[in-house]
Structure 1
């Protein structure tokens, strides 16, 4: 099943499962109007790193029951429900170093299996979604539609065949890069080598279009954003990025790209990490990166 752009355009996004807090570490009050919107609209979170957090603690779901509040995590089922999340993209991020070790695909498949395991373990809460029809049906059943996003094109190991394998295993978006420039796409936090996308990078975008896989251009360089928007035949997403005019951080989106994204029919899913939304924090973060 393919994603219909209109559903993506109409969603109300929440950024992650973390509980918003003020400087005094007290919960922020949410207005009844906001709660009403959450109840009536499909709230879709575009990026959640819970699978990697579960891998890091090595307890998987046997030792850590996310049906209960887990203070050591940013996400658990009680908070997902409290936040009104109707659909969740689970990130199957793996470090870029796995490509150098020849383990990128294997590790990504392990993370995809971890998401499937979570869905099997909590069938009363989660159900795998492969398209917009699934999201609407699952939400109608009172469950959280669970989708899979690959964070970084290093996971495909420079192979369109591997890209197709990941799609077959349920991946419905791929972020073109993570923190490092690849053989075919420039990252925003590494040295640019291609001036955006290489010719193979353009093939990757076209194949994702053909499959019906969302092209995610968070993490990529501004030139890579522009190249992708030039090549793609479908709306793109930024799964977790913010506005560079507000906070001048490399991970954020320049105004001209925001306008191109509007014309493309795509969406920018706001990341509320301090460095991406607060100008002073953004400057400090950039200074640390330059050390």
Structure 2
């Protein structure tokens, strides 16, 4: 961990003002910058919508597109294969598997439409090669392993499709593990969940413990042979919610080589009351809406941001949390996963164009280029490499 910090109160009083970089300092665009949880595939099949174009926040709710990425804020990250939790039945598993495979194929088709601008990454070396070539980086991840049903060997199917990060559970308990937002069923991992961990380790897939209950995380740390990543998790110090991680577990995660990718979610209560909740439900099915309805949804979303925001917090509180997490974990065990296009974003940090502000604030706190390079991408690639090195599957 870096030495003496600028006092937090002084840092927050500094506001968003920037100062010229001293000689030799790397600009934000000069770092290999990754986000570990990009829900943007939700938008990939929207009628009349293109990932390759810039989208106006006033008329489009999307927080990431290739243009904003190319402008230097974000070099890439993990594009999510998300499946909502359904019934633990043969029919439920079959439907979920079909959905997850289709979402994986959608990611592939979308990226293939921009071969000179972004490329798939399956290894840390792929990411570095793409970055050197001036192309953006697209890993794949699984949020919720529910689609595997009771056959953990299906994880190999998704590994072959390019998945290199996977979480066992989402917001409800499933066949593998207890969720942080549900009543305990397994008191951590189920027997099948322990098999899932062994298979992920065997394949060289990094395990993502975001959404897992405290007991589930404890057991993942106990039995995984490779470091654990939390792809989009906030600190419980900032807001006491079971979805967030307490300091003792942050320390244990770091001690075992893992990292917490700091999110913008659950720094306050989640506001899904009234029209806001109904609008969020429509957002989750935005790909089914005609273009005019998509624009109307985005405009109303922005209007509600002023009067009934999804999260009642802002950039100042976010940076206070980031600095706390760095103090607890150390610069070798912090990364970023804001939950863009999945409910993330707060006042003053509405989309990826705000990321250079984070870099500037970390500089004001005294962090070096080497520290920033680790936190923006190096720590994630180290953990990917650790999983690759322990891979035993053939």
Q: 1:254 to 1:197 in 2, by over 3 A?
A: same
- How far residue 256 of structure 1 moved from its aligned partner, in angstroms, is 1.7
Match of 1:70 in 2: 55
Deviation for aligned residue 1:246: 1.6
Whether the aligned pair in 1 keeps the contact of 2:168 and 2:176 (CA below 8 Å) is no
Aligned with 2:133 (options 133, 141, 144):
141
Is the 2:189–2:216 Cα contact (8 Å) retained in structure 1?
yes
Give TM-score, length-normalised by structure 2. Answer: 0.59
C-alpha separation between the residues in 2 aligned to 1:283 and 1:114? 29
Paired position in structure 2 for 1:80: 69
For the 8 Å contact 2:149–2:175, the answer to whether it is kept is no
1: CA distance, partners of 2:210 / 2:75: 22
Tell me, in whole angstroms, the C-alpha distance in 1 between the residues paired with 2:132 and 2:216.
38
1:244·1:255 contact (CA, 8 Å) conserved in 2?
A: yes
Question: What secondary structure, in the 3-state scheme, does the structure 2 residue paired with 1:110 have?
Answer: helix
- Paired with 1:54 and 1:29, the residues of 2 have a C-alpha distance of 35
Show the counterpart of 2:364. none
- 2-side partners of 1:262 and 1:79: how far apart? 32
Q: 1:262 to 1:116 in 2, by over 3 A?
A: same
Equivalent residue of 2:64, what SS? coil
Which residue of structure 2 lines up, in the alignment, with residue 218 of structure 1?
A: 210
**2:157 paired residue number:** 165
SS of residue paired to 2:37: strand
C-alpha contact (below 8 Å) 1:52/1:92 kept by paired residues? no
Please state if 1:127 is matched with 2:140: no
- 1:37 is displaced (CA, Å) by 4.8
Structure 2 residue matching 1:207: 3-state secondary structure: helix
**Superposition TM-score, scaled by structure 1 size:** 0.79
Q: Which residue of 1 aligns with 2:39?
A: 49
Deviation, structure 1 residue 88? 1.5
Between Structure 1 and Structure 2, whose CA radius of gyration is higher?
Answer: 2
Where does 1:267-278 land on structure 2 (aligned, <5 Å)? 267-273=259-265, 276-277=266-267
Which structure 2 segments of 5+ residues have no match?
1-15, 278-394
Distance 2:20 2:156 in 1: 44
2:215 pairs with 1:230: no
Cα shift at 1:32: 5.8
What do residues 25-70 of structure 1 show as CA deviations (whole Å, max 9, x unaligned)? xxx6666659935333321110111112334x3x2xxx21222212
